[in-house]
Amino acid sequence: MSDTNGTSAYERWRQAVDAAPPPKFPPTTISGRTIEPLYWDEQNPGEFPGQFPYTRGVHATMHRGRLWTMRQFAGFGSAQQTNERFRFLVEKGQTGLSTAFDLPTLMGLDSDDPRCLGEVGRLGVAVDTLDDMQRLFRDIDLNDISVSMTINAPAIIIMAFYLAAAEDAGFDWKNLRGTIQADILKEFHAQNEIVFPPEPSVKLVIDLIEFCTHHVPQWNTVSVSGYHIREAGATAAQELAFTLADGFHYIDKTLERGLDVDDFAPRLSFFFNAHNDFFEEIAKYRAARSLWAETLRDKYGAKNEASWKLRFHAQTAGCSLQDKQPEVNLMRVAYQAMAAVLGGCQSLHTNSMDEVLALPSEHAVTLALRTQQVLAYETGITNTVDPLGGSYFVEQSTEEMRTAAQDYFRRIEELGGMMTAIDQGFFRNEIANAAFAQQQELDVGHKIIVGVHRFVEEEHKPLDILEVDPEVEQEQIASLRQIKESRGQDEWLRSIDDVRRAAENNENLLPSLIAAARARATVGELMDAMAEVFDRHTAAVV
Amino acid sequence: MTEVVAIRELLDRFRNGDRQALNRLVSLVSRGEALEEVRVELSGIKHDARLIALTGNSGVGKSTLVGQLIEHIRSQGETVAVLACDPESVLTGGALLGDRVRMSAHAGDVGVWVRSLATTSGRQSVTAHLDLAAQLLAQYGFDHVILETVGAGQGDVAVDAIADVVVLLIQPEIGDELQWEKAGVLEVADVVVVHKGDLPGAAQTETQARELLNLPGCEETPVVRVSSKTKEGIAELWELLADLPSRQRVSSRDTRRLLRLVQEYIADQFAAWPEDMNSVAEDWAAGKLTDADAVQRILAHVVD
Amino acid sequence: MSHLTRAPRIVLAKVGLDGHDRGVKVVARGLRDAGCHVIYAGLWQQPEAVVQTVGDEDADWLGISILSGAHMTLVPRIMELLEAAGLEHVQVLLGGIIPDDDVPKLQELGVARVFGPGTSIPEIAKFVGAVGEPSDD
């Protein structure tokens, strides 16, 4: 295979490897044997990593050149407590921060809303106003660390808060690196953090893409997520297909704003699950890369290689964790993480063994991070790129995943596209059927979970778990009340009116939201203002 | 069988507006229990609420439309009760009743009452004795009673007999000729709703429905296009239903209604199979009684 | 109530703000197949609404799913409201992520049973006295 200049795929790969900074020490096995950066069939070389369609990885040297980002999701209680946890993680060697918000924030409700009773600060950090956002990232160098924020329905408001907080702390938006999940489609398929109907919900995502493309160029605007689809019970093929279909829909809608695909596609990233079935997961990641690259190049006409490259974060499967013999979860997580690494992830979260019981304790979080460090520094799996490439089993599985996904793309198309398929409950039904089938397999004993169905231990040793201080809720509500009383009423009211007007005029909402953040409008107030224009999603969630 | 004393106490509580008593009474009558007591309780009472039945094939969006009607009715300050029927599995007798999810914008609103009912295997699409349940609800004070039931098929004859107004839902069918004219439900409908009116093909379906329904010499059946998604046509539909006269054959003394009452009565008596009928069965099995004699004896029991 | 063949009526609801409904939906289907009449009340249910649903549906059982950790706030409220509505006869089941330490406290409040991750459908079906058998394949 040669390109137009007559260089072979191998030569181009070699050039890329040579251009990359060499490893400090040539990688060897524990026994001292030298490991080459890549192994391939010289008779039938096939694809090379770092080249279209990237089945073998998006970079020529992959983890041999640069390790993945070890990014542990954290957040609980007040912004100040989470800020302390962030600084603890940075100290432990974590290279990216990942923010979990509490359920009220995820649903766009203020902490003092009666519907939030008992939920404030429980599963993540509570953010009501710009002040909370400022506290959350106090004394953290935002030029130096990439920040990930897991939020969807109110993502555009949280992004407005972050941009205001960063700018007020003296950081230039151009230098900010990070990711906001902002993937509302998978909420309609699986996770149900839904506030507005599908169409305005997607509009807000596209606003974010558009604004960041112009003003926050290093920011990953959407983390197109299969993780939650899988957690809801989908098969690996469904996770793959629905996630890519969501990504394509965001592209379609952004193109309608007149942006060039190469201006924004490089900033779309992905988030996949790392489940128990080792080889199927690896096949899934490999298939995802080639499907994305082909569609971006051939359907959307992207010319920039960065648009073709599917970069992804992986998280080990929360739904695979068990509350019986919870230490066994350490082993599950380790194998799942290994699949993600062999599948070529760019960043990874490893679940803590106690996450099925409560929020992870510091001890459990440290062990989860150590799991990644052992993979990176001791196992040697990073020494060569795509070590499973060329395996009959892995290659055929990759092909089967591709075919299954393409089949789903066709079915979605036949239904009339993404929005009609959502309206008809197509994704939810497919996922619910798969989840039920899996449960039946367990109930009849065709599948086994260790410690639950076999190898059961009667004696139950509870782990020490993290308890969230119930006072957090009261403190957060008190702080919110105080902010509501002390803010400038005229400016606050005007800023909310501006948001409403921008929504009515179908403008990009970020500028008015950033102004409203500074006027101390709350997440809940801003959601209400938008809901007046967009309506609330009340359709069936069965 | 529930004890007489307990029923009397329930009826007392019901008269005093106890919602849990209403809830239990609806359960009893829909299972065919306490029918006589409830009939006596309700006899001679004149209430204004009408039973509006929404029927149509599954997937046509009945529950979603009911949800929209609830919203509309509540916005007028009126109250509404909904009886939502779904068939239970013939194999297991189980049922997954998810209709109320589609109506749940008003969850927790005491002006809305929803009961999900599984219609028994092999029976008609309407749970037995639902007219009594509807009367209980009306008597309790709900301004409107809506019955939602899977349509298409012989089952709708029952809807026809107990509802004051029957609304048939259809949806746009792209490409195909309308399928539902075969179902024999058209003549039952007082109003035909083309639901999902925002979908392509809705106007065409509406025209086809009009053509099929409005034959020369027949009374005109209104056809309305409604979209629960955009809320278009909801208020208009409700206005139309409010203005529509109740069907004569139901509110008064229709022969079909009488025959159905006889059938139900006999079925109930069978359900309460007394001990001494066993001896008739034994004698018949032993050849001591002819078929005709045995039937006569049992019928005599039933009629007593 | 003396009807031996009557299917148990169970209201299943997600209470609070968490939207993780995989478990509750699987249980709903499983109990249907086991012969129950399952009334699925859906997501984001407030305690008041759940209790009204249980009453209006004249259910025998209430199954609540909470994965957000808010169970110690929400469940006591539901138990209180059930009692106030005269619905003490309704048996309450709880599913989700419930720490061991909370289980006795919940049982003291009147919760009949807490089902954690890894519970099989036949186990739940047996507990609610469903007569049917879940389908095997």
DSSP for residue B245: P
> Is the Cβ of B108 closer than 8 Å to some Cβ of chain C?
yes
pLDDT at A69 over 50: yes
Task: Name which of C57, C85, C132 is nearest B92 (Cβ-Cβ).
Answer: C132
A271 vs A145, A177, A227, B160, CA distance in Å? Answer: 19, 17, 6, 54
In a domain, C35, yes or no: yes
The CATH number covering residue B200 comes to: 3.40.50.300
Count how many pairs of residues, chain A against chain B, have C-beta atoms within 8 Å: 15
Mean pLDDT to the nearest integer, A496-512: 97
Give the neighbours of chain B: at least 3 Cβ pairs within 8 Å.
Answer: A, C
Task: Name which of A443, A460, A541 is nearest C134 (Cβ-Cβ).
Answer: A443
> Is the Cβ of A43 closer than 8 Å to some Cβ of chain B?
no
pLDDT at B294 over 80: yes
> Is the Cβ of B116 closer than 8 Å to some Cβ of chain C?
yes
Please report which confidence band the pLDDT of residue B182 belongs to, taking 50, 70 and 90 as the band edges. Answer: very low
Q: Are A213 and A221 in contact (CB under 8 A)?
A: yes
Burial class (CB in 10 A: 0-12, 13-18, 19+), A381: middle
pLDDT for B28? 92
Mean pLDDT to the nearest integer, B173-201: 71
Mean pLDDT to the nearest integer, A385-397: 97
B271 and B133 belong to one structural domain: no
Q: Closest chain C residue to A436 measured between Cα atoms?
A: C26
In a domain, C53, yes or no: yes
- Among A136-150, B273-287, C123-137, the range of highest mean pLDDT: A136-150
The least confident of A88-92, A150-154, B89-93, C30-34 is: B89-93
φ/ψ region of B44 (left if φ > 0, alpha if ψ in -120 to 50, else beta) reads left
> Is the Cβ of B292 closer than 8 Å to some Cβ of chain C?
no
CATH class held by domain A62-443: alpha beta
> Is the Cβ of A232 closer than 8 Å to some Cβ of chain C?
yes
**C35:B92 CB<8 A:** yes
A539 chain-B contacts, CB cut-off 8 A? 64, 102, 229
User: For chain B, how far is it from start to end, CA to CA, in angstroms?
Assistant: 18
**A540:B105 CB<8 A:** no
**A460:C25 CB<8 A:** no
Strand order across the beta sheet in which A178-180 lies: A73-74, A96-100, A146-150, A178-180, A219-220
**B229:A539 CB<8 A:** yes
Number of domains in chain B: 3
In a domain, C4, yes or no: no
Mean pLDDT to the nearest integer, B184-195: 78
The dihedral formed by the CA atoms of B242, B246, B251 and B256, expressed in degrees to the nearest 10:
-130
- Among A432-436, B33-37, B238-242, C116-120, the range of highest mean pLDDT: A432-436
pLDDT at B152 over 90: no
Mean pLDDT to the nearest integer, A103-121: 93
The CATH number covering residue C18 comes to: 3.40.50.280
pLDDT at B31 over 90: no
Q: Which residue has the higher pLDDT, B4 or A240?
A: A240
Task: Tell me how close the Cα of C79 comes to any Cα of chain B, in angstroms.
Answer: 16
Token pair in block for residue A412? 């979605």
In a domain, C134, yes or no: no
Q: Which of C29, C39, C81 is the best residue to mutate to test the B interface, defined by the most B CB atoms within 10 Å of its own CB?
A: C39
pLDDT for C135? 40
pLDDT for A267? 97
Q: What percent of chain C shows pLDDT beyond 90?
A: 73
In a domain, C56, yes or no: yes
DSSP for residue A77: B
Q: What percent of chain A shows pLDDT beyond 90?
A: 81
Mean pLDDT to the nearest integer, B208-218: 73
B24 and B144 belong to one structural domain: no
B199 and B287 belong to one structural domain: no
Q: Which residue has the higher pLDDT, C3 or A229?
A: A229
User: For chain A, how far is it from start to end, CA to CA, in angstroms?
Assistant: 51
d(CA B28, CA B22): 10
The least confident of A134-143, A206-215, B101-110, B233-242 is: B101-110
| Nearest CA-CA partner of C12 in B77, B96, A204 | B96
Task: Tell me how close the Cα of B93 comes to any Cα of chain C, in angstroms.
Answer: 5
pLDDT for A16? 94
pLDDT for B178? 55
- Note which residues in 523-542 of chain A have CB less than 8 A from chain B: 538-542
Mean pLDDT to the nearest integer, B206-235: 83
Q: Which residue has the higher pLDDT, A149 or B180?
A: A149
Task: Tell me how close the Cα of B20 comes to any Cα of chain C, in angstroms.
Answer: 6
Task: Tell me how close the Cα of A400 comes to any Cα of chain B, in angstroms.
Answer: 33
Task: Tell me how close the Cα of A424 comes to any Cα of chain C, in angstroms.
Answer: 17
> Is the Cβ of A450 closer than 8 Å to some Cβ of chain C?
no
Q: Which residues pair with A147 in a beta bridge?
A: A97, A178
In a domain, C132, yes or no: no
pLDDT for A252? 98
pLDDT at A361 over 50: yes
Mean pLDDT to the nearest integer, A478-493: 96
Task: Name which of C1, C37, C57 is nearest B94 (Cβ-Cβ).
Answer: C37
**A538:B67 CB<8 A:** yes
pLDDT at B153 over 50: no
d(CA A339, CA A341): 5
B233 and B279 belong to one structural domain: no
B75 and B223 belong to one structural domain: yes
DSSP per-residue string spanning A97-151:
EEEEBPHHHHTT--TTSGGGTTTTTTSSB---SHHHHHHHTTT--TTTSEEEEE-
d(CA A173, CA A217): 8
Task: Name which of A109, A321, A541 is nearest C43 (Cβ-Cβ).
Answer: A541
pLDDT at A185 over 90: yes
Domain extent for C88: 9-95+109-127
**C33:B92 CB<8 A:** yes
Task: Name which of A115, A193, A436 is nearest C26 (Cβ-Cβ).
Answer: A436
Q: Are B49 and B80 in contact (CB under 8 A)?
A: no
pLDDT at B177 over 80: no
**A444:C137 CB<8 A:** yes
| Nearest CA-CA partner of A190 in A407, A22, A422, A400 | A422
pLDDT at B120 over 90: no
C21 chain-A contacts, CB cut-off 8 A? 192, 232, 541
Please report which confidence band the pLDDT of residue B4 belongs to, taking 50, 70 and 90 as the band edges. Answer: confident
Task: Name which of C19, C97, C134 is nearest A192 (Cβ-Cβ).
Answer: C19
Q: Are A439 and C125 in contact (CB under 8 A)?
A: no
Domain extent for B12: 1-44
pLDDT at B185 over 50: yes
C44 chain-A contacts, CB cut-off 8 A? 115
Task: Tell me how close the Cα of A538 comes to any Cα of chain B, in angstroms.
Answer: 7
Q: Which of B96, B101, B109, B231 is the best residue to mutate to test the A interface, defined by the most A CB atoms within 10 Å of its own CB?
A: B101
Q: Are A210 and A508 in contact (CB under 8 A)?
A: yes
In a domain, C79, yes or no: yes
- Among A90-99, A349-358, A509-518, the range of highest mean pLDDT: A509-518
A324 chain-C contacts, CB cut-off 8 A? 118
**C42:A541 CB<8 A:** yes
Mean pLDDT to the nearest integer, B8-31: 94
Task: Tell me how close the Cα of A282 comes to any Cα of chain C, in angstroms.
Answer: 24
The least confident of A256-260, A348-352, B97-101 is: B97-101
| Nearest CA-CA partner of B131 in B273, B254, B218, B301 | B254
pLDDT at A66 over 70: yes
Residues of B with CB under 8 A from a CB of A: 63-64, 67, 98, 101-102, 104-105, 229
Mean pLDDT to the nearest integer, A109-131: 92
Q: Whole-number mean pLDDT of chain A?
A: 93
B13 and B132 belong to one structural domain: no
Q: Which amino acid is at C67?
A: L
Q: What is the pLDDT of residues C17-65, one digit of tens each?
A: 988 999 999 999 999 999 999 999 988 899 999 999 999 999 999 999 9
Task: Tell me how close the Cα of A327 comes to any Cα of chain C, in angstroms.
Answer: 15
Q: Which amino acid is at A118?
A: G
Q: What is the pLDDT of residues B56-75, one digit of tens each?
A: 887 888 999 999 999 999 99
Q: Which residue has the higher pLDDT, B98 or A337?
A: A337
Mean pLDDT to the nearest integer, A46-66: 94
Task: Name which of C17, C116, C122 is nearest A119 (Cβ-Cβ).
Answer: C17
pLDDT at B48 over 90: no
Mean pLDDT to the nearest integer, B7-36: 93
pLDDT at B11 over 80: yes
**A542:B229 CB<8 A:** no
pLDDT at B205 over 90: no
Per domain, the residue ranges of chain A are 62-443
Number of domains in chain C: 1
Q: How far is CA C27 from the centre of its chain?
A: 10
Q: What is the pLDDT of residues C97-109, one digit of tens each?
A: 888 889 999 999 9
Mean pLDDT to the nearest integer, A390-406: 98
pLDDT at B183 over 80: no
Q: What percent of chain B shows pLDDT beyond 70?
A: 78
